Amino acid sequence: MRKPAGGRRFLRFLLHKSDFQLTPGNPLFYNESTDVDPGRTTPKEEISVEERLERIKQILHAHNYKLTPQREATVRVLLERMEDHLSAEDVYLALKSRMPDIGLATVYRTLELLSDLKIVHKVNFGDGVTRYDFRAEGAKHHHHHLYCLSCGKVEEIEEDLLEDVEKIVEERFGFEILDHRLTFHGICRECRAKGIQAGDGPEEALKKLPVE
């Protein structure tokens, strides 16, 4: 499906603005934020899983919810595998060995509750799968993602790359921006090293994978 021409013109406008720059002072993969974060660490502090869990428990209690064993187990899986951007099905499968009686519906309800309380937020990379990602408390915006179309790997960019773009949009359109999400779709470093290219379909990509 073709993208609207207006969108391309607006992008060109943004990219040609002299005040939109990515400089060494605005690194892509480093974040000095000191916001309270139930999901991940900052360079200035190392937070244990138990400390993160306690913060989440406090948020739940503040909204009159209990940290039930099922909810705690779900949160622990998310904390242990933060970089994996798990779906409800992923969490459910990871929990089956620990809690054989837990159901997918219970996991889904827990994840939706965490999303409603803004402990996690939902991300979708265009493949029809909803994933859940921890978000920083008090953070104005989400971090951004790199999504590999070949292997499905997800990488995070912690730095907010669109601050200058937001200023341009607000000044040009008088639009107050409350949030934004940015996902780059392409081929990751590992897949490119295997010779996989952006135009390869699933069959072509599989043929280029090394035989183990």
Answer yes or no: is 63 a known binding residue: no
Concatenate the DSSP letters of all residues of 99-142 into one string. -TT--HHHHHHHHHHHHHTTSEEEEE-SSS-EEEEE--TT-SS-
Closest CA to 138 of 51, 49, 37, 13: 37
Contact 124, 130 (CB under 8 A): yes
Contact 170, 176 (CB under 8 A): yes
Answer yes or no: is 142 a known binding residue: yes
Termini Cα distance of the chain: 38
Contact 147, 129 (CB under 8 A): no
Answer yes or no: is 212 a known binding residue: no
Answer yes or no: is 170 a known binding residue: no
Long-range contacts of 196-199 (CB under 8 A, 24+ apart): 196/150, 198/149
Q: Count other Cβ atoms within 10 Å, centred on residue 138.
A: 10
In the numeric block, the tokens 């409350």 are attached to 178
Answer yes or no: is 163 a known binding residue: yes
Answer yes or no: is 137 a known binding residue: no
Question: Which residues carry a binding-site annotation?
Answer: 142, 148, 151, 163, 180, 188, 191
Question: Which residues carry a binding-site annotation for Fe cation?
Answer: 142, 163, 180
Question: Which residues carry a binding-site annotation for Zn(2+)?
Answer: 148, 151, 188, 191
